[in-house]
Every structure is written in structure tokens, then in C-alpha cells.
Amino acid sequence: MIQKIEHIGIAVKNLETSNELFKKLFGNSHYKIEAVESEGVSTSFFMLGETKIELLQATNNESSIAKFIEKKGEGIHHIAYAVNNIEAEMQRLKNEGFELINAQPKDGADNKRICFLHPKTTNGVLVELCEDKK
């Protein structure tokens, strides 16, 4: 079951500059910076009550974030929903006709197992499912 919005991912060109910008916006600093090498991204996280904002900067030109910024510019990249059983939720959504980008959960930032749904089956919104690693 989808429980809540866990975080919103925002693609940025420069993590350092954007960390300063979002610090001004929220009146609070990011609580972590984490690279996810398999995805070619460097991320930072801000806590806003129960929800987080994840900033993502590409670390190489092949990264999906680099391609996203090239096509659309900086901005909202994905919405991540917390689930308590990612395998079950992936199966349920697959049965409902959604296209999973990865067939198996993979490691994401901030101690999560994640799966993305293709935006062509979700009205243009890249959806991430994430489950806390146990």
C-alpha cells in the first residue's frame, strides 16, 4: 500500500548552489549529502515535517538527471511514495498496467530500496516507490 509522499526529487545543475538556495527557502540546512554512483547522481536531503526534498545533481553525462536537465531544464524530477512492502506493491502496480522501469528493487539514497514507474504510464510523472531498508 502507498502510505505517503516520502520525498519530492528536484533536478539541479549545481548541488552546492542549490543547497544554499533551498537553505534560504526552508530556513534549514540539508541533513545529508549522498552520492549514488550506480545512478550517476549526487543528492542532498532536506527534512520538512514528515516529507523530504531531495536535490539531485548529475555526476556524469550519462546520468538520467543530466538527460532530464538537457531536455527539460532544472525542476521537479520525481515524486517518491513510501511503501511498506516494495515487492508486493511492484507486483500490484504491474498487474494494474503500470510499467516498472526496474524489474527488481534497487538501492537508492537515504537507506532505501526503490523502484521507478515509467512516466508514460503515470500521466508524465516519474514515480518512485521506496521502502526503508530493514
Residues that bind Zn ion (CB under 5 A): 9, 54, 80, 128
Minimum distance of Zn ion from residue 9's CB (angstroms): 4
Closer residue to Zn ion, CB minimum distance, 9 or 40: 9
Q: How far apart are the first and last CA of the chain?
A: 17
Minimum distance of Zn ion from residue 89's CB (angstroms): 16
Closer residue to Zn ion, CB minimum distance, 128 or 131: 128
Minimum distance of Zn ion from residue 108's CB (angstroms): 6
Query: Minimal CB distance to Zn ion: which residue?
Result: 9
What residues contact 128, with CB distance under 8 A and at least 6 apart? 9, 78, 79, 80, 81, 108, 114, 115, 116, 117
Minimum distance of Zn ion from residue 10's CB (angstroms): 10
- Residue labelled with grid coordinates 526503508: 132
Closer residue to Zn ion, CB minimum distance, 9 or 105: 9
Q: Would you say 118 and 129 are in contact if contact means Cβ atoms under 8 Å apart?
A: no
The DSSP result for 87-109, as a single string, is HHHHHHHHHTTPPBSSSS-EEET
Closer residue to Zn ion, CB minimum distance, 97 or 126: 126
